[in-house]
């Protein structure tokens, strides 16, 4: 029985450390958003989280996850903004007032991201400034 309590306390400590790391690391460096995968009906499917930009893609970290890695990754060269809309009346109940919803298509999958004005501008410019997949050059080392 003592081993059980030791194992349980160790597991809880690891869980607390992971949650603390994720909370401090991701929330400090990411932009807060709401995201849902389409098709979705009504107000179902929205997940709070943080969005982090990198040179090659977007990383989405769910608010209620303790995993040290991103919950979703979107490659930059395959992401495309396919629509924008204002929140529906029912969505305004749990979204900030300055939010716009951006539809993002990534490799055939569709997502909606609820972003404020700065976040929408940042996402759009980040995607549009990505080089075309055809223009990416692979460099090989020089032969000596």
Quick check: 127 and 76 in contact, CB under 8 A?
yes
Structure confidence at residue 17 (pLDDT):
82
Q: What is the band of 84 on the pLDDT scale with cuts at 50, 70, 90?
A: very high
Structure confidence at residue 140 (pLDDT):
67
**What is the count of structural domains for the chain?**
1
- Whether 118 maps to a domain, the answer reads yes
Structure confidence at residue 101 (pLDDT):
94
Does 73 have pLDDT greater than 70? yes
- Whether 138 maps to a domain, the answer reads no
CATH of the domain at 85: 2.30.29.30
3-state secondary structure string across the chain: CHHHHHHHHHHHHHHHHHHHHHHHHHHHHCEEEEEEECCCCCCCCCEEEEEEECCCEEEEEECCCCCCCCCEEEEHHHEEEEEEECCCCCHHHCCCCCCEEEEEEECCEEEEEEECHHHHHHHHHHHHCCCCCCCCCCCCCCCC
Cis peptide bond prior to 39, omega within 30° of 0? yes
Which of the pair, 79 or 132, is modelled with greater confidence? 79
Write out pLDDT tens, residues 100-113. Answer: 999 999 999 999 99
Tokens of 62: 């769910």
Does 99 have pLDDT greater than 90? yes
Structure confidence at residue 135 (pLDDT):
55
- Whether 135 maps to a domain, the answer reads no
Instruction: Return d(Cα 30, Cα 122) in angstroms, integer.
Output: 12
For range 117-144, the mean pLDDT: 74
Count CB atoms within 10 A of the CB of residue 102. 21
- Whether 109 maps to a domain, the answer reads yes
For range 32-47, the mean pLDDT: 90
Structure confidence at residue 87 (pLDDT):
92
Question: CA triplet 109, 36, 34: central angle to 5 degrees?
Answer: 135
Query: pTM value?
Result: 0.75
Does 144 have pLDDT greater than 70? no
Tokens of 61: 């970290």
Domain extent for 11: 2-128
Which of the pair, 51 or 15, is modelled with greater confidence? 51
């Amino acid at each position: 029985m003592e081993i059980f309590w030791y194992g349980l306390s160790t597991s809880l400590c690891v869980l607390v450390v992971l949650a603390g790391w994720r909370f401090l690391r991701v929330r400090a460096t990411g932009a807060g958003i709401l995201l849902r995968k389409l098709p979705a009906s009504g107000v179902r499917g929205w997940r709070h989280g943080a969005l982090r930009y990198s040179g090659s893609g977007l990383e989405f970290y769910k608010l209620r996850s303790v995993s040290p890695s991103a919950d979703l990754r979107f490659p930059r060269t395959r992401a495309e903004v396919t629509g924008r809309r204002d929140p529906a009346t029912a969505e305004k109940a749990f979204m900030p007032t300055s939010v716009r919803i951006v539809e993002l298509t990534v490799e055939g999958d569709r997502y909606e991201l609820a972003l404020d004005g700065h976040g929408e501008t940042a996402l759009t410019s980040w995607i549009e400034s990505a080089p075309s997949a055809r223009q990416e050059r692979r460099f090989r080392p020089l032969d000596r």
